[in-house]
Structure 1
Amino acid sequence: MKIVSNKDNLQVLHEDNHIIVVNKRAGDIVQGDKTGDKPLSDVVKEYIKEKYNKPGAVFLGVVHRLDRPTTGIVVFARTSKALSRLNDLFKNRETKKTYWAAVKNQLPKEQGTLVHYLVRNPKNNTSKAHTKEVNNSKKASLDYTIIRALNNYYILEINLHTGRHHQIRSQLSAIGCPIKGDLKYGFNRSNPDGGIHLHARQLSFNHPVNKEILNITAPTPNDPVWSSI
């Protein structure tokens, strides 16, 4: 069953006067879209308004996004100063992001680098990975390490060099290792909650105001695959 976030079950990983970091559930959309479903940004606003008894509208800036079926760390800005500086941090790739993914097929090596050229298709909201540069393609690169071999799945730790649309999903699919539950990229069946086993596990960055180094880790969802790690 899909359990999306609300102000009472929100998983807050870090909170201060300038930023709030939450652990997104599968099914949450970070920002409003054409579906009209309530976005995570509105849930966080409600949480802040109630916790701090704030009158009027609550300011909250969306800094980055995760795909709807993906879980893990999402950062929001609570002040305009933090939003501007966080936007620069993410744009200039002055953050370190680590993802975990569960795939059914073993990768060719225990660890390695994947390089592809991605072409985005806005009609079906996918990205196709090519081994060589083609028209309108953007280079995508990541490092992976197999951190656990389970009975039926392999758990990968992934560090991104680039931040392309559906990068991890399309690159893993291109080498025959689609992520568990990811029907869009070739996995053979869906997960019960409609999510996929891709989790934004860790994020490190300098706090936009006090410059303190923040190292944030998001617990994995409670399911048999993640619980086997």
Structure 2
Amino acid sequence: MKVAILYEDNHLLVVEKPVNVPVQEDSSKDLDLLNYLKDYIKVRDNKPGNVYMGLVHRLDRPVGGVMVFAKTSKAASRLSNSIRKHELNRFYLVVAMGKLPKNSDTITHYLWKKRKTNQVYSVEQNHPDAKKAELSYEVLNQKEGMTLARVELHTGRSHQIRVQFQAMGTPLYGDQKYGDKRVKPHTQIALWANEIEIPHPTLKEIVHLTSRPPQSEPWDIFKDI
């Protein structure tokens, strides 16, 4: 595994998560990003014993891009508090199939996760296990029956962007789990964690980092943007 480090100090480690890598250990037993980074830091810095690495937010396995880890328990606690106070701003790039209803909008759905199948559904607000999901999007370009959009998350629900775009009738390119049946099997989903803004846990400043999606299909269609 090759992982690009975007920012690092004594409290934070911000990396570019590779696609198709689990964030933490799961039933697949594939090498996960959290344990990889612990081992990497242990060897690089010649640290005795276990290396602390705090997981403060998540990305779906197929998704690549900016991801923040805490290198101390103090940083992990403060970052988690920042997330609870909605001080963590996350932006994504997506390629959706079809045309979005508006050029920009804030949309709200109510989502329910079926844990046995790890599938998320858009349901009515009065569903007993429904959780509110909200995001904003801005259309950047449209080409070849697809739409490039920038998305800002206001809540952090499981599979949120994927399900909300499916609910609008514009599933993400390559997302065969949530509605895109028009591409070949094993096509990579067009969802990328492009940008993050977070208060530094010890310094009075905002850490702002970006990551560009790969120049492969369908991202290369919009390479001029």
User: Residue in 2 aligned with 1:66?
Assistant: 59
User: Residue in 1 aligned with 2:33?
Assistant: 40
- Change in CA separation of 1:15 and 1:189 when aligned onto 2, cut-off 3 Å: farther
CA-to-aligned-CA distance 1:92-134 (integer Å, 9 cap, x gap)? 2211111111111101111112111111111211211135442
CA contact (8 A) 2:3 2:18 kept: no
The residue identity in structure 1 corresponding to 2:135 is: L
- Pairing partner for 2:90 from 87, 93, 97: 97
- Change in CA separation of 1:225 and 1:194 when aligned onto 2, cut-off 3 Å: closer
User: Partners of 1:194 and 1:57 in 2: how far apart?
Assistant: 37
**Deviates further, 164-173 or 151-160:** 151-160
Counterpart check, 1:77 vs 2:70? yes
User: Residue in 1 aligned with 2:15?
Assistant: 22
Match of 1:41, SS state, is: helix
User: Residue in 2 aligned with 1:50?
Assistant: 43
User: Partners of 1:38 and 1:191 in 2: how far apart?
Assistant: 26
Unaligned runs of 5+ in 2: none
- Pairing partner for 2:193 from 183, 193, 200: 200
Unaligned runs of 5+ in 1: 1-5
The residue identity in structure 2 corresponding to 1:25 is: P
Post-superposition offset of 1:178 = 0.6
Post-superposition offset of 1:35 = 1.5
Counterpart check, 1:126 vs 2:112? no
The residue identity in structure 1 corresponding to 2:37 is: V
User: Partners of 1:123 and 1:130 in 2: how far apart?
Assistant: 17
User: Residue in 2 aligned with 1:140?
Assistant: 133
User: Partners of 1:213 and 1:124 in 2: how far apart?
Assistant: 38
The residue identity in structure 1 corresponding to 2:139 is: I
User: Partners of 2:125 and 2:145 in 1: how far apart?
Assistant: 32
Counterpart check, 1:157 vs 2:150? yes
CA-to-aligned-CA distance 1:162-212 (integer Å, 9 cap, x gap)? 111111111100111111111110111556765311111111011001132
The TM-score with structure 2 as length reference comes to 0.92
The TM-score with structure 1 as length reference comes to 0.90
User: Partners of 1:189 and 1:53 in 2: how far apart?
Assistant: 49
CA contact (8 A) 1:180 1:191 kept: no
- Count of residues in Structure 1 that have an aligned counterpart in Structure 2: 222
Q: Percent identical across equivalent pairs?
A: 40
Two-structure CA RMSD over aligned residues (Å): 1.7
